[in-house]
């Protein structure tokens, strides 16, 4: 990456392009960029699908704040030259396609998209060989603290007869299940228990499935209304139950976390990073 850019010297604003600008998280990001909640960041581009009804509208007005002077377009290449960092909250297909292009352009990349396939994650990992990439299923401080607490709890409870179940609740329009955050919590518990998550994960239960085996992590997804995101990890043993939970009451924590990641990634070497790196957890 160019050491003479805003990324390298931090003497000027870090210019940010938001991909998925017309979506729920995109609007939140634009709103916070316009408010200056994370100093040193400036909105320089807004991208969404070519058939978005918000295309060609001012990104600030779409987000419900003052006019930003940046119209929502559909061509990332048209706005990338003025950018230092791309924040991508689009969809799994779009994110995987954007990553190699952003790598060729030499920009920092923050990805909050979930539901990525193995192949799509591979494309992102390859991009991270050339540029710094922050990839996180959830960018709030609270959830990332929860990841750490779940792993720590699992390490303490390992081998002591505590079953692990994960319950997550989201709005009716969420497309992937289990949520990326739920899977991240499952990874944290599995790491603490020294299990391979793919070998022990079960998505819900139906029918005569038999007794629960000792080595199993159950995932249960609830979809309804406008629930932003609730996650609970349950450690259940004979005689007691421990629950570790996080409830999002707005998308603000996610948006602020993504912007903090953008400010942080701008000064990093190529590599694949998580929010633990950004937050120093």
At residue 142, φ and ψ (nearest 5 deg) are -60, -45
Catalytic residue among 170, 220, 231, 246: 170
User: Could you confirm whether 158 is annotated as catalytic?
Assistant: no
At residue 56, φ and ψ (nearest 5 deg) are 75, 5
Given a cut of 70, the residues of the chain with pLDDT beneath it are 1-11
153-193 pLDDT, tens per residue? Answer: 999 999 999 999 999 999 999 988 999 899 999 999 999 99
Catalytic residue among 57, 121, 174, 191: 174
User: Could you confirm whether 42 is annotated as catalytic?
Assistant: no
What is the CATH number assigned to the segment(s) 6-139+252-279? 3.40.50.720
- DSSP string spanning 122-162? HHHHHHTTTSEEEE-S---HHHHHHHHHHHHHHHHHTTSS-
Give the pairing type, strands 132-135 and 108-111. parallel
Q: Domain 141-248 is of which CATH architecture?
A: 2-Layer Sandwich (3.30)
What sign for the dihedral angle of Cα 28, 77, 72, 176?
Answer: negative
Contact in structure between 266 and 124 (CB atoms under 8 Å): no
The model carries a pTM of 0.79
Q: Both ends of the chain: CA-CA distance in Å?
A: 26
Domain boundaries, the chain: 6-139+252-279, 141-248
pLDDT score recorded for residue 267: 85
6-44 pLDDT, tens per residue? Answer: 434 445 799 999 999 999 899 999 999 999 888 999 999
Contact in structure between 257 and 229 (CB atoms under 8 Å): no
């Amino acid at each position: 990456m160019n050491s003479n850019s805003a990324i390298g010297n931090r003497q000027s604003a870090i210019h940010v392009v938001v991909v998925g600008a017309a979506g729920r998280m995109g609007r939140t990001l634009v709103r916070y960029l316009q408010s200056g909640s994370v100093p040193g960041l400036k909105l320089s581009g807004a991208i969404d699908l070519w058939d978005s009804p918000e295309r060609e509208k001012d990104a600030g007005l779409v987000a419900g704040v003052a006019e930003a002077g940046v119209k929502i377009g559909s061509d990332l290449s048209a706005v990338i030259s003025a950018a230092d960092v791309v924040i991508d909250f689009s969809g799994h297909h779009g994110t995987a396609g954007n990553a190699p292009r952003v790598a060729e352009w030499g920009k920092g990349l923050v990805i909050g998209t979930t539901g990525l396939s193995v192949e799509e994650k591979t494309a992102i990992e390859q991009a991270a060989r050339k540029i710094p990439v922050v990839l996180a299923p959830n960018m709030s401080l609270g959830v990332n603290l929860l990841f750490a607490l779940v792993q720590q709890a699992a390490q303490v409870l390992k081998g002591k007869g505590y079953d692990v179940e994960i319950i997550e609740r989201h709005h009716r329009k969420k497309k992937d299940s289990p949520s990326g955050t739920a899977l991240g919590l499952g990874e944290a518990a599995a790491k603490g228990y020294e299990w391979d998550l793919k070998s022990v994960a079960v998505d819900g239960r139906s029918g005569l499935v038999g007794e629960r085996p000792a080595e199993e992590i159950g995932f249960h997804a609830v979809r309804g209304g406008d629930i932003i995101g609730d996650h609970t990890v349950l450690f259940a043993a004979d005689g007691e139950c421990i629950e570790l939970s996080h409830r999002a009451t707005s998308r603000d924590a996610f948006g602020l976390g993504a912007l903090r990641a953008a400010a942080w990634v701008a000064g990093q070497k190529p590599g694949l990073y998580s929010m633990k790196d950004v937050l120093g957890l």
